[in-house]
């Protein structure tokens, strides 16, 4: 491996849920002394294993994984926290002479690292709570009164509140990805992807997501953001007998397919992603990584 560890590239693998990122990354990382940082906003939560299709114990033993089980559901964790964590890990991995792999489907998380986002001020919880209790119209008025420019997405309460919190400070990012990074996206045929999502849903239920959700809700309740991730609210409905088992499964598949769509919508905007099929990503990255040895 290169002596100057700053020359070790950052390998970034993105793609929608169920596109095969995880298994590919593990395969490559195993072969080329890699360590994986999961850029996934859900697998940071402890206990949410089956429902988030987290890498299993064996996979985690095969290759060092980072970014998993960082906080408990209900605890505060944001992109900014993730970025800080990831940058630190990338540096540490390189200093060991290993290759950092940033792998995940949360586009915002990936971009925050790759484009070195500069975040605004951290939320003032007191102010935020106050603002959250206001209607969207009141928030608009508040903005007008205080000279705060409304965000493009001005009907989105969250975004308006954040604009207020940022108080005019504009977000910053790199125009192009950080140097020495290789970004690849896994392309999938839509029908194939949707079928994979369906099959994976079956597996999740067979592996006991329902039981997992039950024990999580006992511990953390249903009302936190983490537990609002697509699958868990559906299980909640099922447990409350609002829907039956078949319906629950059906709904889950639909929700996951929608998730994949949104992920793709985000990723599409990044012009620096090289889109390839899983096999081609494998070949391409293998070639790149072989050069380092």
Partner RNA sequence: GGCGCGUUGACGGAACGGUUACGUAGAGGUCUGCAAAACCUUUUAAAUGGGUUCGACUCCCAUACGUGCCU
Compare residues 117 and 238 and give the one whose CB is closer to RNA: 117
19 binding RNA? (CB under 7 A): no
185 binding RNA? (CB under 7 A): no
CB of 224 to RNA, least distance (A): 8
CB of 54 to RNA, least distance (A): 7
Choosing from 265, 274, 277, 286, the residue that interacts with RNA (CB under 7 A) is 265
Candidates 7-15, 21-29, 213-221, 266-274: pick the segment binding RNA (CB under 7 A).
Answer: 266-274
141 binding RNA? (CB under 7 A): no
Binding mask 230-249 for RNA (x = CB under 7 A): xx------------------
**Which alpha helices (H) appear in the chain, and where do they start and end?**
21-31, 57-62, 79-95, 107-114, 125-132, 136-145, 157-166, 190-206, 209-220, 231-239, 245-268, 278-290
Q: How far apart are CA 113 and CA 120, in angstroms?
A: 15
156 binding RNA? (CB under 7 A): yes
Candidates 99-107, 141-149, 210-218, 273-281: pick the segment binding RNA (CB under 7 A).
Answer: 99-107
Q: Which has the closest alpha carbon to 21: 8, 45, 39?
A: 39
20 binding RNA? (CB under 7 A): no
Choosing from 7, 30, 155, 176, the residue that interacts with RNA (CB under 7 A) is 155
Decide the pairing of beta strands 181-186 and 10-14: parallel
151 binding RNA? (CB under 7 A): yes
Buried b vs exposed e over 131-141: b needs ≥16 C-beta within 10 Å?
beeeeeeebbe
Compare residues 137 and 293 and give the one whose CB is closer to RNA: 137
Q: How far apart are CA 139 and CA 39, in angstroms?
A: 32
The helix (H) or strand (E) run that includes residue 11 is strand 10-14
């Amino acid at each position: 491996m290169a002596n100057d560890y700053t020359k070790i590239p950052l390998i970034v693998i993105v793609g929608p849920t169920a596109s095969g990122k995880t298994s590919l990354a593990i395969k490559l990382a195993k072969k080329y002394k890699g360590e994986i940082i999961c850029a996934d906003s859900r697998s940071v939560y402890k206990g949410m294993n089956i429902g988030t299709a987290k890498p299993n114990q064996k996979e985690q033993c095969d290759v060092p994984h980072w970014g998993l089980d960082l906080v408990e559901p209900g605890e505060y964790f944001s992109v900014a926290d993730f970025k800080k964590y990831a940058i630190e890990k990338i540096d540490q991995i390189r200093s060991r002479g290993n290759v950092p792999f940033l792998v995940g489907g949360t586009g915002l998380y990936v971009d925050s690292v790759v484009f070195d986002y500069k975040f605004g001020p951290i939320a003032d919880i007191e102010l935020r709570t106050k603002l959250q209790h206001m209607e969207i119209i009141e928030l608009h008025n508040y903005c007008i009164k205080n000279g705060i420019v409304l965000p493009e997405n001005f009907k989105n309460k969250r975004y308006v509140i954040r604009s207020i919190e940022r108080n005019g400070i504009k977000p910053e990012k790199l125009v192009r990805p950080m140097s020495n990074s290789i970004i690849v996206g896994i392309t999938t045929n839509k029908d194939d992807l949707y079928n994979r999502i369906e099959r994976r849903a079956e597996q999740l239920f067979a592996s006991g997501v329902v039981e997992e959700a039950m024990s999580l809700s006992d511990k953390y309740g249903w009302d936190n953001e983490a537990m609002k991730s697509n699958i868990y609210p559906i299980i909640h409905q099922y447990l409350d007998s609002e829907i039956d088992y078949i319906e629950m499964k059906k709904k889950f598949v639909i929700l996951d397919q929608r998730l994949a769509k949104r992920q793709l919508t985000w990723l599409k905007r990044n012009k620096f992603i090289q889109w390839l099929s899983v096999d081609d990503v494998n070949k391409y990255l293998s070639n790149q990584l072989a050069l380092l040895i």
